[in-house]
Amino acid sequence: MNVTRYGQLKGQAAWRTSVGTRIGNDANTLVFNEAYAPTSSITLDNTVFNKGRLNASYIYNNLARMKEAYESYK
């Protein structure tokens, strides 16, 4: 989303959805988020550490790829 004078809207980086059906009933309707337990997408791992991408082993394993991206877009 673009930044406006009011701020910037930001959504969850990774999300999932699921659909279930009821079997054995006369009506087989779709059920969304059955037994849904709400959670916050704002966690220390997601926000600060970028899902484990801010540790030394990840950086060393992907150093060539990150250097190529830096050289392409600097």
pLDDT tens digits for 30-63?
A: 666 666 666 676 777 667 777 777 788 888 998 9
pLDDT of 9 reads 72
Query: Is the confidence at residue 29, as pLDDT, over 90?
Result: no
Query: Which of 43-66 are b and which e, b meaning 16 or more Cβ less than 10 Å from the residue's Cβ?
Result: eeeeeeeeeeeeeeeeeeeeeeee
User: Which residue has better confidence, 9 or 5?
Assistant: 5
- 10-19: long-range contacts, CB 8 A cutoff, minimum separation 24: 12/41, 13/46, 14/51
**Contact assessment for residue 19 and residue 31, using Cβ atoms and an 8 Å cutoff:** yes
User: Which residue has better confidence, 62 or 27?
Assistant: 62
pLDDT of 67 reads 92
Question: What does pTM read for this prediction?
Answer: 0.37
